[in-house]
Copies of this chain bind each other. A is one copy, B any other.
Amino acid sequence: MDEISLLLVDDHPVVRNGLRGMFESTPGFTVLAEASNGVEAVELAADLDPDVILMDLRMPGGGGLDAITELTRRGIRSKVLVLTTWDTDTDTLPAIEAGATGYLLKDAPQDELFNAVRQAAAGRTVLSPAVASRLVSAVRSPAPSPLAARERQVLELVAKGTSNRDIARELFISEATVKTHLSHVFTKLGVTDRAAAVAKGYEQGILGRD
C-alpha cells in the first residue's frame, strides 16, 4: 500500500506534536501539514489533498464540525477521522452525520490509532468501542427528540431561575403558553420538574454552551 498522507488539526501544539512524532517515526505515514483551527484545516485540505485528516472537534475559531461540513460540501476526498479528548456524546452523531469517517478518543493506544488511520484511509468507518456503544444505544432509543426552538428558550430561562410569569414577560407570551412549553420539555426530557429538566439540559448539551 502507498504511504498514507495526513493532515493534523488540533488547537493544542502539544497534541499536534505528539501526533506528528508518532506518525513520522512510523513507516507508512506522512504528515503533510498541521492546522490549529477548522478554517485553516479546510484550506490546507483543499490544497494538499491528504488521505486522512485527524481532527479535534473542539477548537477556538472555526469549530471542527463546521470544518467537516465544509469539507463534505466541497466534495473533498480526504477522510476525516475525529480524534477527540473526551467523548461528550453530543458531538459524535453530528460529526458522523457531517461526514466524519471515524471517531476516536485520544486515550486510545497507539496501535489502535495507526490501525484506525489505515482503516479510514481505506474508507472504512472506525469508531472507538466507547463511541460505538453509544451509537448503538442512540439508535436503539427511538429519538432523543431535541427541543423545539421555543422550548429551548424557555428552558434556558428556567435555568437562570426565571419564574414562569417572568419568562412569559420576557418572551412576550402568556404564562399559560410558558407552562405548555415546559410541559412539553418535561415530556421530551423524561422528567417531571424544572430542576431535573435543567440537569438533563446540561447532560445532553442543550444547555451549558455559552
Residues on A lying within 8 angstroms of B by beta carbon are 11-19, 21-22, 85, 106-110, 113, 158-161, 163, 191-199, 202-203, 207-208
A112 to chain B, nearest CB (A): 10
Residue on B nearest A195 in the bound complex, by CB: B194
A30 to chain B, nearest CB (A): 17
Residue on B nearest A192 in the bound complex, by CB: B161
The reply to whether B195 and A13 form a contact with Cβ atoms under 8 Å apart is no
Known: A159-B196, A160-B199, A203-B208. A15 touches B13 (CB 8 A): no
Known: A14-B15, A17-B18, A21-B21. A161 touches B191 (CB 8 A): yes
The reply to whether A109 and B18 form a contact with Cβ atoms under 8 Å apart is no
The reply to whether B203 and A12 form a contact with Cβ atoms under 8 Å apart is no
The reply to whether A12 and B192 form a contact with Cβ atoms under 8 Å apart is no
> In the assembly, what is the distance between CA of A194 and CA of B195, in Å?
6
The reply to whether B208 and A15 form a contact with Cβ atoms under 8 Å apart is no
> In the assembly, what is the distance between CA of A203 and CA of B158, in Å?
14
The reply to whether A106 and B15 form a contact with Cβ atoms under 8 Å apart is yes
A187 to chain B, nearest CB (A): 13
A71 to chain B, nearest CB (A): 23
Known: A22-B17, A107-B11. A202 touches B195 (CB 8 A): no
A167 to chain B, nearest CB (A): 11
For A15, the chain B residues whose CB sits under 8 A away are: 14-15, 18, 106
> In the assembly, what is the distance between CA of A43 and CA of B158, in Å?
47
For A193, the chain B residues whose CB sits under 8 A away are: 161, 163, 194
> In the assembly, what is the distance between CA of A16 and CA of B22, in Å?
11
For A106, the chain B residues whose CB sits under 8 A away are: 12, 14-15
**Of B16, B85, B107, B197, the contact of A195 (CB 8 Å cutoff):** B197
